């Protein structure tokens, strides 16, 4: 299975994306969490490639995509993704988002309801005011110091999210965090500012919501499911924030069943 890496220009900057070979049928768009990139989907894309053409963009400001010229917002991220898909002559698509990717996926489906035919969300970020207030106090500072303390702080922050995972995965996420710099904080604030609940409740397309039992956003699963008009929810046992990397077969099977029924 070949995953190509490409760039596309859009009105607000340049976007990098990974893609599996084109085939008949509706393509599947995969939107990543913060501070990852489309690299988090490479194993999952290999699982899904026999069934779907998979397209995984780097959110503007992350991976190899340039920042939005007019500042970070979920609406801006979704517009950049839509521009990319239009440039690929895609008329309709399925969309899967994980964490921040779920925010962008909901915005995309809300803004273009005839374009997104089905939507799958992993760890939907339906945050309470108290959760937002707490998260604002825990965001990385990204302040450089000559002793390199910022590097160990960042490593420990990301290792805490996945303490029993492979060290190579933590290294990849640390490098992604260093590359995106202040886009890390910008994306969180963009999520805080989005009317996620209102947009989710307004959707009419079929929606699958899922989360691992140890996912940091697991508490949002049931409240989000109650907002959806046409959807279902699924709890994944013994799974955490990095389930797309660590248990891609589970996610692939859930997506196949939901998208092909």
For the stretch 147-180, pLDDT in tens is 888 888 889 989 998 888 899 999 999 999 999 9
- Give every residue of the chain whose pLDDT is below 50, as ranges: none
C-alpha closest to that of 52 among 88, 23, 86: 23
How many alpha carbons fall within 13 Å on the CB side of residue 51?
18
Q: Are 5 and 16 within 8 A, CB to CB?
A: yes
Domain 4-127+194-260 superfamily per CATH: Alpha/Beta hydrolase fold, catalytic domain (3.40.50.1820)
The pTM score is 0.96
Residue 166 belongs to what H/E stretch? Answer: none
pLDDT digits (tens, 9 = 90+) for 66-93: 999 888 999 999 999 999 999 999 999 9
| pLDDT for 11 | 81
């Amino acid at each position: 299975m070949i995953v190509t890496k490409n760039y596309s220009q859009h009105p607000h900057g340049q976007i990098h994306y990974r893609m599996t070979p084109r085939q008949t049928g509706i393509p599947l768009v995969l939107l990543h969490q913060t501070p990852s990139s489309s690299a988090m989907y490479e194993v999952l894309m290999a699982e899904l490639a026999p069934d779907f053409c998979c397209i995984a963009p780097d959110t503007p400001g992350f991976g190899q995509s340039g920042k939005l010229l007019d500042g970070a917002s979920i609406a801006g991220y979704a517009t950049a993704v839509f521009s990319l898909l239009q440039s690929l002559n895609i008329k309709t698509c399925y969309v899967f988002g994980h964490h921040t990717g779920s925010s962008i996926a909901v915005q995309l489906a809300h803004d273009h309801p005839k374009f997104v035919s089905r939507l799958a969300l992993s760890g939907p970020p339906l945050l309470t005011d108290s959760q937002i207030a707490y998260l604002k106090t825990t965001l990385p500072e990204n302040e450089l110091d000559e002793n390199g303390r910022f590097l160990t702080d960042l490593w420990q922050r990301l290792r805490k999210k996945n303490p029993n995972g492979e060290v190579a995965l933590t290294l990849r996420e640390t490098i992604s965090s260093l590359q995106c710099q202040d886009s890390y904080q910008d994306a969180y604030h963009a999520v805080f500012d989005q009317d996620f609940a209102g947009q989710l409740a307004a959707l009419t397309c079929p929606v699958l919501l899922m989360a691992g039992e140890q996912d940091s956003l697991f508490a949002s699963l049931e409240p989000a499911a109650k907002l959806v008009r046409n959807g279902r929810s699924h709890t994944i046992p013994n799974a955490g924030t990095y389930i797309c990397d660590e248990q891609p077969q589970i996610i692939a099977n859930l997506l196949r069943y939901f998208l092909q029924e």
